[in-house]
Amino acid sequence: MTSDGKPYRKEGYIRPQELLPTGYQSHQPFQQVQVEPTHNMASQEAWDQPVNDHKITLNLQELREDELALIKSQTGIQDMDELQRHVESIAEKAFKIYPYGYLTQPAFLKFKSSYIPIFKHVLELGKTRQNAIFLDIGCGFGHDTRKTIADGYPIENVIASDIHPEFWTLGHELFKSTPESFPVPFILGDALDDAFIPDCLPFDTETHKPLTEKPSQTTLASAKSLAPLQGHVSAVHASALFHLFVEEQQRVLAKKLASLLSPEPGSVIFGFQLGASEAKEITNIREEKIFLHSEDSWTRLWVGKEGEGELEGVFPKGMVQVDVRLYNLKPTTGGTTSSDLDLLVWSVERI
C-alpha cells in the first residue's frame, strides 16, 4: 500500500514465487504491481545462517533468462559448465570470508534492484536528470551496481558502498573486471557511523538547502565517506540491509539515508527486506536481535503518525510518498523450514 492508503501505484507484475527457493509459495495470488521482484531468497535461515559445507552448488537454471545473459556478457563465459564452476568458486571464497547462507542459494546471482517496481523510474532519472547520482549501499559484490549500469544508467554517476570491501573485490573477480575496466568508486564504511554519514535533517529546496555543491566526478572518486553526497543523491538502493538491525538502528539508518537524498521531486530510496504482518523483534539464527517491520510500521518510520506518544517520521509530512507491499510467503512440502517468510518491497520517493 502507499502512505495515503491507496493500492501500490506502479504497473506490471510482481511474482512472489520468484523471491523464493524451491519449496516456497505465496499465501496470496500474484499481485498487479510492476516488474518482477526480488531474488530467490530461501528464508531467514538461508539469508543469515552459517552452514558447514564449504562445497557450494548453485543451480543456474533458477536465474531469469536476462540475468543469465547478463552474467555471461559480464564474465565473457558462455559455456554453462565453465560458468557454473566459476560462480561456485567465487561463492566458496566469499563463504570463507563470512558464511552468509545466501551464498549457497541462487540469490547470490540475482540482480535484486531490477525486481523492485520503481527501478524503471530510477533508470529514467539516470537518463533525464543531469548528473543524477545513484548510490548502491550495502552493495556486496556489486550485482545491482552493474545491472543498473547495464540497463543504461551513466557509469560516471554511480557509486557503491559497503562495510565488507572483500566482497567488492570478489565482485571484480566474479565479473572478470578491474577497477580500471569498471571504474565505479567504492566507498568503504559503516552507514551507522556519524563519521561516515553525519547526522543531518532531510534537505528541501527552500529553507534547508544542501550545504555543499553537488560533488564532481573527481570528488566521488576520492571520497572517504558519504558526507559529500548529503542532499545530492537521486537514487539510493538499499536491499537486504535494514533487516540486519534492531528498530532504533533502523531509524538511525533511515535518517542517514534520507539526508543523502536530493530534494528534487522524484528522488528515491528503494529496496526490500524481511518483514512481518505485525512489526516485531526476533532473534535470528546467529542469536542476534533484529527488527521486522510491517507495512504500517514501515510507513510510519518514514512519514510518522499523529497521536500521543507517536514518533515523528524521518521526513516531514507531505515531503515523500511511501510505497510498500508485504508478501507473505509460505513453505510448501519439501521446504527448508516450517516458518513463514515475509518480504517488504518498498520505495520512498520525494514529491
Residue 4 C-alpha cell reads as: 495515503
Please report, for residues 159, 163, 207, 231, the alpha-carbon distance to residue 213 in angstroms, rounded to integers and kept in the order given: 17, 26, 16, 9
Neighbours of 52 (CB within 10 A): 5
Would residue 146 count as lying in a domain? yes
Would residue 106 count as lying in a domain? yes
Count of domains forming the chain: 1
Q: What is the pLDDT of residue 14?
A: 38
Q: What is the pLDDT of residue 332?
A: 42
Neighbours of 175 (CB within 10 A): 20
Neighbours of 300 (CB within 10 A): 20
Q: What is the pLDDT of residue 329?
A: 66
Would residue 2 count as lying in a domain? no
306-328: per-residue pLDDT in tens?
A: 644 556 899 998 999 999 999 87
CB burial of 235-267 (b: ≥16 within 10 Å; e: otherwise) equals bbbbbbbbbbbebebbbbbbbbbbbbbbbeebb
Q: Cell match 571520497: residue?
A: 223
DSSP state letter for 215 = P
Q: Cell match 516456497: residue?
A: 24
Q: Which residue segment(s) compose the domain that 86 sits in?
A: 16-350
Q: What is the pLDDT of residue 276?
A: 93
Q: Which residues of the chain have pLDDT under 70?
A: 1-54, 306-311, 329-340
Please report, for residues 30, 45, 75, 192, 276, the alpha-carbon distance to residue 343 in angstroms, rounded to integers and kept in the order given: 14, 14, 31, 23, 7
Would residue 4 count as lying in a domain? no
Would residue 127 count as lying in a domain? yes
Would residue 6 count as lying in a domain? no
Would residue 5 count as lying in a domain? no
Domain of residue 158, CATH code: 3.40.50.150
Would residue 9 count as lying in a domain? no
Q: What is the pLDDT of residue 286?
A: 72
